[in-house]
C-alpha cells in the first residue's frame, strides 16, 4: 500500500480500487460516486473486518484505561500530595496530539496494534482520571462522616459509599473517553491498525469516494451507538439519580 | 533511550532544518495554520455565541455541537474534504477542517460563559437603563471572559492537533515530518517530528496559561 499522502493529486480512474473486483463500467463504482450500494455489497467482508478491528481497539484501550485510571483517581483523592502530579501528567499527555503520541510510542511498540492501544489508553486515562476524581471529590463530607460513624473501614467506605456516589461523573467520563477513542482509532491508520481508518487511508490514496464516505459514516455510527449504550448502562446502574431528578 | 538519542541527532542535524521539507519551514507552516485558523474560528464562533447567549436562544445547539465534534473523526473529515472540490485548492481541506473543529469548543464555552453571568447583575444593568448592546459589551462579555478564554485555549490546542493529522491527508505543517519519517521507515525522524509537535502543543498550552494568569483580575475571579 502506498503511504504517500500527497495533496489531492487525483489518481487515474483505473487505479480506483485494489483491483479485487472488476465492476461493470456503468455502475456507481465505476463512476466513483459518494454513495454506492454496489460498494456495500461487494466489500461487505472488508467493511466487517474493519469494524471488528475498530471495536476491538476501542474496547481494549478504554478497558485498560479504566483499570489504570481507577487506582490513580483513588490515590489522588486519598493522598493530597498525589493529586497535583497525577493531574499535571494527565494534562500534559492530553495536550500531545494523537499522531505525535503514536509516533513517540513507535520505538517501544513498532508497527503494531499494541502501539495504537497504548496511545489510546493514555488519552482515555486522562479523561477518566479527571472525571472519577471529580466524582469522588463531590461526595459530601457528611456522607463520608456518617459512613465512618457507622464503623465503615477505608475499603468499605470506598466501595460501598464513595464509588457508587461517583458513578454518574465516572460514567460521563467513560462516555467521553469512548467516543473520543472511536474517533482517534482512525489515526492508527498511520501504522496500519486504524480499523475503519485503514479504509479511509486507502480510499484517500486511490481517490475512492464511496469507501471514504462509507467508512467515515460507520465511524460516527459506532461512536453514537457506543455513547447510547453507555448511557443505557448508566441509567441501569444508577437508578437513584434518575429517581432523584424525576 | 537509543531512540531518543537518534531522534536528538536527527533534530540537531542542520541539514534537516533548511529547505521546503525542513523543520523551519514546517514549523512556520504549523504556526501560520494555527494562528490564521484560530482567528478565523474566533471571528465565526464568538459573535454567534455571544449573541445567542445574550438572547438566551439556541442553547441546545451550542452545547451539543461540542459532543458532535468529538464523535466525528478529524482524519475522516480531512479526507472527505480532500476528495471534494475543496481539495483542489492547496491547503483548503486543512483550513476548513481546522476551523470546523475549532468552532465547537469556542461556541460552547462562550455561550455557557454568557449564560452563567449572574442574572441579578444583568437585571441591575437593565434597571440602570443600559440597552441590550450595552449589557452585552459592558456586563456580560467582561464577566464571561474567563470561560471565553478557556474556550480559546481548548480550540488552540485542538487546532495544533488537527493541523498535525492534516499531514496524513497531504496538508502542511510539522506532521509532515512524521509522515515523511514513516514513508522512509526512519524511526529517528518519526520520533523527532513527534517531539517537535509535542513541544509545540505544550508551548501553545503554556502561552494560554500565561495569558489567563496575566488577564485582569476580574477575568480570573469567575473560576
Kindly state whether B90 is in contact with chain A, defined as any CB-CB distance less than 8 angstroms. Answer: yes
Kindly state whether B82 is in contact with chain A, defined as any CB-CB distance less than 8 angstroms. Answer: yes
What percentage of residues in chain A have a pLDDT greater than 70?
A: 87
Mean pLDDT of the residues in chain A: 85
> What average pLDDT does the segment A57-71 reach?
95
pLDDT score for A80 = 85
Neighbours of B203 (CB within 10 A): 12
Query: Which chain B residues have a beta carbon less than 8 Å from that of A201?
Result: 75, 79, 168
Distance from C-alpha of A50 to C-alpha of A194, rounded to nearest angstrom:
8
> What average pLDDT does the segment A199-208 reach?
88
Query: Which chain B residues have a beta carbon less than 8 Å from that of A189?
Result: 75, 168
Residue A242 clears pLDDT 70, i.e. is over it: no
Residue A68 clears pLDDT 70, i.e. is over it: yes
Domain annotation for chain B: domains and CATH numbers: 2-221 (1.10.3720.10)
Confidence of residue A40 (pLDDT cuts 50, 70, 90): confident
Kindly state whether B35 is in contact with chain A, defined as any CB-CB distance less than 8 angstroms. Answer: no
Residue A13 clears pLDDT 50, i.e. is over it: no
Of A100, A180, A182, the CB nearest to B178: A100
Say how many CB pairs under 8 Å bridge A and B.
Answer: 150
Of A5, A216, A224, the CB nearest to B170: A5
Contact (CB<8Å) A99/B197 = yes
Contact (CB<8Å) A197/B73 = yes
Of B80, B182, B201, the CB nearest to A95: B201
Helix/strand number for chain A, H first, E second: 12, 0
A134-180 pLDDT tens trace: 999 999 999 999 999 999 998 999 999 999 999 999 999 999 999 99
pLDDT score for B85 = 81
Of B67, B88, B160, the CB nearest to A8: B88
Of B90, B171, B197, the CB nearest to A100: B197
Residue A6 clears pLDDT 50, i.e. is over it: no
pLDDT digits (tens), chain B, 223 positions: 688 888 888 888 888 887 777 888 888 988 999 999 999 999 999 999 999 999 988 878 877 887 788 888 988 898 888 888 877 787 888 889 899 999 999 999 999 999 989 889 999 999 999 998 999 999 999 999 888 998 999 899 889 988 898 888 888 888 888 998 888 888 888 999 999 999 999 999 999 888 888 866 655 554 4
Q: Among all chains, which residue has been given the C-alpha cell 460516486?
A: A33
Contact (CB<8Å) A220/B80 = no
Residue A14 clears pLDDT 70, i.e. is over it: no
3-state secondary structure of A21: coil
Query: Which chain B residues have a beta carbon less than 8 Å from that of A203?
Result: 79
Neighbours of A52 (CB within 10 A): 11
pLDDT score for B47 = 93
Cβ–Cβ < 8 Å for A191, A112:
yes
Vertex A160 angle, CA A156 and A164, to 5°: 140
Query: Which chain A residues have a beta carbon less than 8 Å from that of B82?
Result: 7-8, 204
* DSSP state letters, B82-147: HHSGGGGSTTHHHHHHHHHHHHHHHHHHHHHHHHTS-HHHHHHHHHTT--HHHHIIIIIHHHHHHH
Q: Among all chains, which residue has been given the C-alpha cell 476528495?
A: B83
Domain annotation for chain A: domains and CATH numbers: 32-245 (1.10.3720.10)
Query: Which chain A residues have a beta carbon less than 8 Å from that of B2?
Result: 107
Half-sphere exposure of A144 (CA within 13 A, CB side): 13
ipTM, two decimals: 0.84
Contact (CB<8Å) A187/B157 = no
Distance from C-alpha of A206 to C-alpha of A12, rounded to nearest angstrom:
8
Distance from C-alpha of B110 to C-alpha of B116, rounded to nearest angstrom:
10
**CA-based nearest residue in chain B for residue A1:** B183
Distance from C-alpha of B109 to C-alpha of B156, rounded to nearest angstrom:
13
Mean pLDDT of the residues in chain B: 86
For the record, the C-alpha cell of A213 comes out as 464516505
Residue A121 clears pLDDT 90, i.e. is over it: yes
Provide the shortest C-alpha distance from residue B157 to chain A (in Å): 7
Contact (CB<8Å) B79/A216 = yes
Amino acid at each position: 500500500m502506498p503511504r504517500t499522502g500527497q495533496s489531492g493529486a487525483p489518481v487515474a480512474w483505473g487505479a480506483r480500487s485494489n483491483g479485487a473486483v472488476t465492476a461493470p463500467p456503468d455502475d456507481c463504482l465505476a463512476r466513483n460516486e459518494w454513495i454506492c450500494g454496489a460498494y456495500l455489497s461487494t466489500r461487505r467482508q472488508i467493511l466487517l473486518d474493519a469494524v471488528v478491528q475498530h471495536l476491538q481497539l476501542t474496547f481494549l484501550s478504554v478497558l485498560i484505561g479504566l483499570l489504570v485510571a481507577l487506582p490513580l483517581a483513588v490515590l489522588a483523592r486519598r493522598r493530597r500530595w498525589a493529586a497535583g502530579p497525577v493531574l499535571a501528567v494527565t494534562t500534559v499527555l492530553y495536550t500531545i496530539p494523537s499522531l505525535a503520541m503514536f509516533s513517540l510510542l513507535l520505538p517501544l511498540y513498532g508497527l503494531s496494534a499494541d502501539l495504537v492501544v497504548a496511545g489510546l489508553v493514555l488519552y482515555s486515562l486522562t479523561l477518566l482520571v479527571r472525571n472519577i476524581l471529580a466524582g469522588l471529590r463531590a461526595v459530601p463530607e457528611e456522607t463520608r462522616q456518617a459512613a465512618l460513624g457507622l464503623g465503615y473501614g477505608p475499603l468499605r467506605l470506598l466501595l460501598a459509599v464513595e464509588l457508587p456516589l461517583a458513578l454518574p461523573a465516572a460514567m460521563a467520563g467513560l462516555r467521553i473517553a469512548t467516543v473520543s477513542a472511536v474517533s482517534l482509532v482512525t489515526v492508527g491508520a498511520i501504522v496500519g491498525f486504524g480499523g475503519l481508518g485503514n479504509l479511509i487511508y486507502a480510499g484517500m490514496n486511490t481517490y475512492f469516494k464511496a469507501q471514504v464516505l462509507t467508512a467515515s459514516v460507520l465511524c460516527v455510527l459506532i461512536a453514537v451507538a457506543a455513547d447510547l449504550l453507555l448511557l443505557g448502562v448508566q441509567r441501569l446502574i444508577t437508578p437513584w439519580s434518575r429517581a432523584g431528578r424525576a | 533511550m537509543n531512540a531518543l538519542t537518534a531522534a536528538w541527532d536527527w533534530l540537531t542535524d542542520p541539514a534537516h532544518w533548511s529547505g521546503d521539507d525542513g523543520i523551519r519551514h514546517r514549523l512556520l507552516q504549523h504556526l501560520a495554520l494555527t494562528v490564521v485558523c484560530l482567528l478565523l474560528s474566533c471571528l465565526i464562533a464568538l459573535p454567534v455565541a455571544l449573541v445567542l447567549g445574550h438572547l438566551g436562544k439556541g442553547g441546545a445547539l451550542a452545547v451539543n455541537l461540542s459532543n458532535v465534534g468529538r464523535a466525528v473523526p478529524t482524519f475522516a473529515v480531512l479526507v472527505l474534504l480532500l476528495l471534494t472540490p475543496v481539495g483542489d485548492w492547496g491547503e483548503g481541506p486543512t483550513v476548513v477542517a481546522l476551523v470546523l473543529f475549532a468552532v465547537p469548543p469556542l461556541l460552547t464555552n462562550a455561550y455557557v460563559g454568557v449564560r452563567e453571568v449572574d442574572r441579578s447583575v444583568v437585571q441591575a444593568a437593565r434597571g440602570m437603563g443600559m440597552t441590550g448592546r450595552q449589557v452585552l459589551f459592558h456586563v456580560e462579555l467582561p464577566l464571561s471572559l474567563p470561560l471565553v478564554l478557556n474556550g480559546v485555549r481548548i480550540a488552540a490546542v485542538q487546532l495544533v492537533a488537527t493541523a498535525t493529522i492534516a499531514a496524513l491527508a497531504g496538508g502542511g505543517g510539522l506532521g509532515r515530518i512524521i509522515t515523511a519519517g514513516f514513508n522512509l521507515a526512519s524511526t529517528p525522524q518519526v520520533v523527532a517530528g513527534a517531539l517537535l509537535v509535542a513541544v509545540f502543543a505544550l508551548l501553545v498550552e503554556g502561552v494560554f496559561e500565561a495569558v489567563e494568569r496575566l488577564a485582569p483580575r476580574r477575568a480570573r475571579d469567575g473560576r
